[in-house]
Amino acid sequence: MDEFALIRQYFSDIGHVAGVEVGIGDDAAVVSMPPSTELAVATDTLVADVHFPASGAAGDVAFRALAVNVSDMAAMAAKPRWFTLALTLPAADPEWLQAFATGLGVAAQRCNVQLIGGDTTRGPLTITLQLLGELPAGQRLLRSGARADDDLFVTGCLGEAAGGLALLKASAVTTDAAKALLQRFWEPPIRTELAVQLAGQLRAAIDVSDGLLSDLGHLCAASEVGARIDLNALPLSPELLACHGQLRAVELALTGGDDYELLLAADPRHRATIEAAGCTRVGRLTAASGIHLHRDGEPAATPAMTGYRHFHGD
């Protein structure tokens, strides 16, 4: 199958969104933007065996590739609309391509985005997506808008994806709880609607891709504040606790990465609204720099100080 037939067969009909004037097939796509909107642009590359296990099912790989890019849009409170796909494949395996295209179609529908172009090349499996999103002019949500004494919230639960990957690496995905954790790696949460809905109440946001402490560090640096995190408040799922135990679960939540939940900062007067939307308050920002962990009101050591702990309860 030549490149053009491949594109036509698998990628010509992924998602449907308004505003596409010229889609796949010409030299460039053309989209029209509603008046008074700004364009948000983000790109992310997933390299096999670096960002995901190459053994992953093609449909799961596709879903994850789109979801991690959509997560960047959510963190800006932008509505994702269109995307391009630069796909590097070792071979044109029809079975793999069909499963990949099906997974991508499911994800595109879930995220309400349309594939409008891309590039197809031969080489080690690498997937690069670029997302284009729409922002009402002036409503972008940055990392830099937070202030001292703002509340800090996270969406969903933390540590699950990293907890699932750790079990996969240890060949320990045997229980339903372990399978659920691993599925959280392949199916990152879609938080765009929540972010757009709450945008008016938020001062800053970042998506948690590298672990809470790391991404909180980015938000604090950009906003020139410090933070205090209450370890007892971290949202940990029953599955994570069952597979890894409390201590390791907290460590995974703080440093694990791959969650793609949102970390949000807001004036405390919006606390009730943000909690009612399902977010968990995990701490607050401070005028003093540095990130400080607390448990039961007492300072607690950071995971770097406690060191690695072996799997617990598996």
Q: Determine the Cα–Cα distance for residues 25 and 42; give it in Å rounded to an integer.
A: 22
Q: Determine the Cα–Cα distance for residues 86 and 180; give it in Å rounded to an integer.
A: 30
Tokens of 78: 């932008």
Minimum CB separation of residue 238 from Mg ion in Å reads 47
How many residues interact with ligand ADP (rule CB under 6 A)? 13
**H helix count then E strand count, the chain:** 10, 13
Tokens of 87: 């796909």
Out of 3, 93, 119, 193, the only residue in the binding site for Mg ion (CB under 5 A) is 119
| Contact call for residue 87 and ligand ADP (CB under 6 A) | yes
The DSSP letter of residue 158 is: S
| Contacting range for Mg ion; rule: CB under 5 A; set: 34-42, 114-122, 261-269, 284-292 | 114-122
Minimum CB separation of residue 32 from ligand ADP in Å reads 17
262 has which bridge partners? 207
Minimum CB separation of residue 33 from ligand ADP in Å reads 19
Handedness of CA 118, 124, 125, 128 (dihedral sign): negative
For ligand ADP, the binding residues in 8-27 under the rule CB under 6 A are 11, 24-27
For ligand ADP, the binding residues in 215-234 under the rule CB under 6 A are none
Q: Determine the Cα–Cα distance for residues 138 and 168; give it in Å rounded to an integer.
A: 43
Which residue has tokens 């597979």? 243
For ligand ADP, the binding residues in 118-147 under the rule CB under 6 A are 118-120
| Contact call for residue 3 and Mg ion (CB under 5 A) | no
Amino acid identity of residue 46, one-letter, is L
Out of 101, 107, 111, 115, the only residue in the binding site for ligand ADP (CB under 6 A) is 115
| Contact call for residue 93 and Mg ion (CB under 5 A) | no
| Contacting range for ligand ADP; rule: CB under 6 A; set: 113-121, 165-173, 263-271, 304-312 | 113-121
> Residue 250's closest CA among 172, 131, 135, 163?
163
Minimum CB separation of residue 261 from Mg ion in Å reads 35
Cα 197 from chain centroid?
18
Out of 15, 117, 133, 188, the only residue in the binding site for ligand ADP (CB under 6 A) is 117
> Residue 152: which region, alpha, beta or left (left: phi > 0; alpha: psi -120 to 50)?
beta
- Residues near ligand ADP (CB under 6 A) are 7, 11, 24-27, 85, 87, 115, 117-120
- Residues near Mg ion (CB under 5 A) are 119
